[in-house]
Structure 1
Amino acid sequence: MSKIRGTSARAALFTLPLVVAGVLGTTAAPAGATPRPGAPLTCRGEGVDPNALVRAGTETVIHAPLSTIWKLQTDVEGWPSWQAPVETVERLDHGPLRKGSAFRWTTPIPPNPATPATSLEITSTVKQLKHNSCIRWSGPAIGEGLRIDGVHVWNFTKVKGGVLVRTEETHTGDQVEADVPTATKILSDGLKGWMADLKTTAEARAGHRPH
């Protein structure tokens, strides 16, 4: 689920998870190149739900080593330390994040026309992963009167001066599909917040000073 700042929530799941998360797949651009606008993200050939009505994505260049960015994103138990919207994270397996890994996490979500404010419990399972390149996870997010099924892809590509990080996520479910524009905005805001936190944290750890 994506995270949303302030009263917004991180509905970006899967990333849905959970991706965490969101990373790079077969559509990765060459180093220094700009990816084709609208090109779907994949990890090991698999992407988000092509039939989902609710979808969003974002990208940025992070001025930090790829190893730093990858560790932040895949150390899911550490998410609450740098992402305020993530309240708790519990790994359901052990060791490095890999295909088949699962984790359960919680995040608040604001009220909307279809459901009241609630806390989402998201269970994310990693479906595809390529070290330092891409990750794809999926799973359900469940709250009071709300169920969202999400698929989240993250891509990481080295470029001049840093790493191009791209993410795309889709949500399906009766509640989000009842108001696609609102659900899309919540998802988009969450992904942008997640990306901003990842960039800020990774660059701080790398000692980068923003211009």
Structure 2
Amino acid sequence: MSAMRGTGVRTALFTVPLVLGLLGTAAGPAAAGGSHGTRPDKPLTCREKGVDPGALVRHRSEIVINAPLHTVWKLQTDVERWPHWQTPVETAQRLDHGPFRGGSAFRWTVPVPPNPTTPATSLEITSTVRQIEHGACLRWTGPAIGEGLRIDGIHVWNFTKVKGGVRVSTEETHTGAQVEADVPTATRILREGLEAWLRDLKSAAESRAGDRPR
């Protein structure tokens, strides 16, 4: 699942929904940095597997990155280096060795600030790759667990060569008591997290010297 990144509100998703409600309801598909919001297209899949069809909290976004596919793919699958280009990611550790493949697992953490009803904590996310096609798609699942909090996520990524670079499309669903208690707000924050991830991926890939497509 995504780390629910963003400015100020990225970690709020993991707090009590009454606090989240102060942030407002779900926004439209405004897309800063070139990403695009939820679309009416059929769900993304990887090897014919997609997100949770029954999940109440879901979002889909995409962005075009002006960099070669191998650069984008390497950044996304070298999970132990996520903290180098995703500021909110505190730690990231592979739980297996060798090539990133089906069955690969990784554990990563993001901070959760204190709020009126829950203390500051660190959210630990354990993700397992369920489906993968090299250079084309990824699908991982796993829980995010903090003090008194649990969210189960399914996250799908598609990578497509296009004129000017690579179109990265992503879709994610969340289930759990906290997010399901305030679906509009949880969806809004999921949207902000996915779009921030895409912007960071774009920035990191495009900044790599000599990696511009020819």
Q: State the TM-score bracket (shorter-chain normalisation).
A: 0.7 to 0.9
Amino acid at match of 1:200: S
The 5 Å alignment of 1:140-151 reads 140-151=143-154
Q: Verify: 1:50 aligned to 2:53, yes or no.
A: yes
The match for 2:111 is 108
TM-score by length of 2: 0.80
C-alpha displacement at 1:79, in angstroms? Answer: 0.2
In structure 2, what is the equivalent of residue 121 of structure 1?
Answer: 124
Residue matched to 1:19: none
Partners in 2 of 1:109 and 1:126 — Cα distance?
25
Question: 1:206/1:10 Cα in 2 relative to 1: closer, same or farther (>3 Å)?
Answer: farther
Partner of 1:9 in structure 2? 10
SS in 1 for 2:207: helix
Is 1:159 matched with 2:172?
A: no
**Per-residue Cα deviation, 1:146-199 (whole angstroms, up to 9, x for no partner):** 100000000000011111100000000011101111111111111011000000
What is aligned with 2:88?
85
Root-mean-square deviation (CA), in Å?
A: 2.2
Shift of residue 11, structure 1, vs aligned partner: 8.7
Higher-Rg member (1/2):
2
User: Which residue in the other structure is 2:72 paired with?
Assistant: 69
Q: 1:112 to 1:173 in 2, by over 3 A?
A: farther
* Higher relative helix content: 2
- What percent identity do the matched residue pairs reach? 70
Distance 1:181 1:61, change over 3 A: same
Instruction: Tell me the distance in 2 between the aligned counterparts of 1:194 and 1:39.
Output: 22
Partners in 2 of 1:11 and 1:93 — Cα distance? 30
Alpha-carbon distance in 2 for matches of 1:168, 1:11: 20
Dislocated runs of 4+, deviation >4 Å: 110-117, 206-209
Q: 1:202 aligns with which of 190, 197, 205?
A: 205
Relative to structure 1, the CA distance from residue 57 to residue 113 in structure 2 (aligned partners, 3 Å threshold; closer, same or farther) is farther
TM-superposed deviation, 1:117: 5.1
CA displacement at 1:37 relative to structure 2: 4.0
Q: Residue 49 of structure 1 aligns to a residue in which SS?
A: coil
